[in-house]
Structure 1
Amino acid sequence: MSNTKNENSESAYVTLKELHGLQFEASGFSFLPKYKVQSLLAGRHKSAMRGRGLDFKEVRQYVPGDDIRNIDWKVTARTQKTHTKVFSEERERPVLLVVDQSSSMFFGTQEYLKSTISAQLAALGAWRTVDIGDRVGAFVFNDTEYKNIHPQRSTTAILSMLKTIEVFNNQLNANQPPKSKSLILDNVLSKVRSTVTHDYLVIIMSDLRGITDKSIHHIFNLKRQNDVIIFHIEDEWEKELPLRALSISNSDKQVSIASGMKKTHAKFQKVFASEKEMLNDQFAEYGIPMLTFNTSQKASTQMRDALKDQ
């Protein structure tokens, strides 16, 4: 059994004050760079929406809530499925943050914990969104429950959201081993699907531990009418060790390694790389970017590097 500890490590928990302070670092990046997906947000942009007397864009399958006056009856008759005409106009785009604060996130061997990076990314995304005048909401979840914060556009609403993240983050307990979050992840993504309509930007911030085919199916279905980005959060040691063999102390960062585990590092490293590559390929096939964030650098630095404002 061996341990590693960072003597200069940050606190294991985030505070509302810290997340509020990130308001002043939420610049230099946008959600509309580099990536060949539908428009990914950065303020006012061309976006599919219901309307009349606007520039025609496309015909797509009818979604509950669409204006029935825009139904394309010819396409509907030919396909036997209701289709609607879509027009383009400058408009806002609601942003929904899916923020993982489950037990597998309460781990880190570098400068930060994954749970901290997730909370910081959420705060930066929220502040950036309201700064450009759009609404932002969130699903914050742990191993057993979630909280849905509906998209709003105000500093008061953002602080309420960040308070929820702080509460979930501060409930993490190093004395309890990580639990499987497959069920809660499936449930949260299912609820997200039923909550958003279309033309949202959904950003999922998670280590994706325990992701199932059902979860992936939910994400693919979200992408049909919305933009989706995956912020995959990982720690360097997780590339070599299975999650079940790791633990973390409640003060500084600490890792426990099961005896004999070093002999199988290479095997686990290959499995981790293979699983991540497969996920990346699946998401890429649907035009969903998966960006990697680590526990070595603060979230604002990584956000600007990954999503530089152009």
Structure 2
Amino acid sequence: METTDLLKRVRQIEIKTRGLSNDIFAGEYHSAFKGRGMTFSEVREYQYGDDIRNIDWNVTARFNHPFVKIFEEERELTVMLLVDVSGSRDFGTMSQTKKNMITEIAATIAFSAIQNKDKIGVIFFSDKIEKFIPPQKGKKHTLYIIRELINFEPENSNTDISMVLEYFTSAIKRRCIAFLISDFIDGDFDRAISLANRKHDVVALQVYDPRETELPNIGLMKVKDAETGERLWVDTSDRRLRMAYHNWWGENQINLQQVLAKSHVDYVSISTDQDYVKALMRLFKQRS
């Protein structure tokens, strides 16, 4: 992408996603993702309804009437985006590709993070770690992430979710929030996501295209596997073939839901023809 086109696209995404973060997600994000704990702030005089367990007995004895300790959330968090950049992200038959929706979702989360003074970092992955952007604060850093989301070209096209989860678990030492954004067609990552979620707080965001859920009845069609490059002719007029594909998709979704539920990972599935804002809001409210 030419530099001028890239900057224009970055600006468009910044305006849209920063606005969403400011107007919609600020409170929900803050409520959904807690800090590391509570730290002592100050003491004040006891008021009706205060928890008597917070009474500071030393100060109370000194002034001969009750005072309570006030605590505030130790807010600063680290947020990591684990972004699938394999070949299948370029697929899209509706208003946009999976890549475009993933970019907007990631940018919205990034702006929500910096608005709450959290650090934000990214791991781009295929079947290898394509790029690691260490977590930092600030608008400049977030705009750099958005540029990479738009313009980054991976070396490989296949997917390995277990690999990126193992790398993430090893590379990020302190507990953080991790958004794993993928179409999750790679289904063999049960153990890796369970281990990752024990150390960190992992949230799974599935982005898929409606056409991936079933084959259209349009006769003989040449298809290409975006990850392997394999091409073959498919007779979509064959009802049994269409049914087999539909069943494969359904079984894949059930397996994904079972794996994430077993690992206690929060999850939302978003189609490219749906409003991702509503989906994220629903997820954030469930966590609050």
What does residue range 47-126 of structure 1 map to in structure 2 within 5 Å? 47=36, 90-126=74-110
Contact 1:28 1:308 in 2 (8 A): no
* Partner SS, residue 142 of structure 2: helix
Q: What is the root-mean-square deviation in Å for CA atoms of aligned residues?
A: 3.3
Deviation at 1:28, TM superposition (A): 1.8
Instruction: Give the match for residue 228 of structure 1.
Output: 202
Q: Indicate the percent of aligned positions where both proteins have the same amino acid.
A: 20
Q: Where does the alignment leave 5 or more consecutive residues of structure 2 unmatched?
A: 41-71, 217-221, 227-231
Q: Hey, which of these two has a bigger chunk of strand by percent?
A: 2
Matched, 1:281 2:263: no
Q: TM-score, normalised by structure 1?
A: 0.66
Equivalent of residue 181 in structure 1, options 151, 156, 159? 159
Deviation by residue 1:50-82 (Cα, 9 ceiling, x = unmatched): x99xxxxxxxxxxxxxxxxxxxxxxxxxxxxxx
Instruction: Give the match for residue 191 of structure 2.
Output: 217
Matched, 1:130 2:114: yes
Of the two, which has the highest radius of gyration?
2
Distance (whole Å) between structure 2 residues aligned to residue 203 and residue 180 of structure 1: 20
Further displaced range: 129-138 or 277-286:
277-286
Output the amino acid matched with 2:281: R
Instruction: Give the match for residue 269 of structure 2.
Output: 292
Contact 1:127 1:158 in 2 (8 A): yes
CA 287–48 in structure 1, closer or farther in 2 if over 3 Å, else same? farther
Contact 2:127 2:163 in 1 (8 A): no
Contact 1:137 1:151 in 2 (8 A): yes
Deviation by residue 1:170-210 (Cα, 9 ceiling, x = unmatched): x489xxxx94323xx33322211112224310100100122
CA 305–111 in structure 1, closer or farther in 2 if over 3 Å, else same? farther
Deviation at 1:258, TM superposition (A): 2.3
Instruction: Give the match for residue 17 of structure 1.
Output: 11
CA 15–187 in structure 1, closer or farther in 2 if over 3 Å, else same? farther
Distance (whole Å) between structure 1 residues aligned to residue 93 and residue 283 of structure 2: 22
Q: Hey, which of these two has a bigger chunk of helix by percent?
A: 2
Instruction: Give the match for residue 149 of structure 1.
Output: 133
Deviation at 1:218, TM superposition (A): 1.8
Q: TM-score, normalised by structure 2?
A: 0.70
Equivalent pairs counted in the alignment come to 235
What does residue range 194-205 of structure 1 map to in structure 2 within 5 Å? 194-205=170-181
Output the amino acid matched with 1:207: D
Instruction: Give the match for residue 145 of structure 2.
Output: 161
Distance (whole Å) between structure 1 residues aligned to residue 126 and residue 175 of structure 2: 27
Deviating beyond 6 angstroms after TM superposition, the runs of 4 or more aligned structure 1 residues are none
Distance (whole Å) between structure 2 residues aligned to residue 257 and residue 300 of structure 1: 37
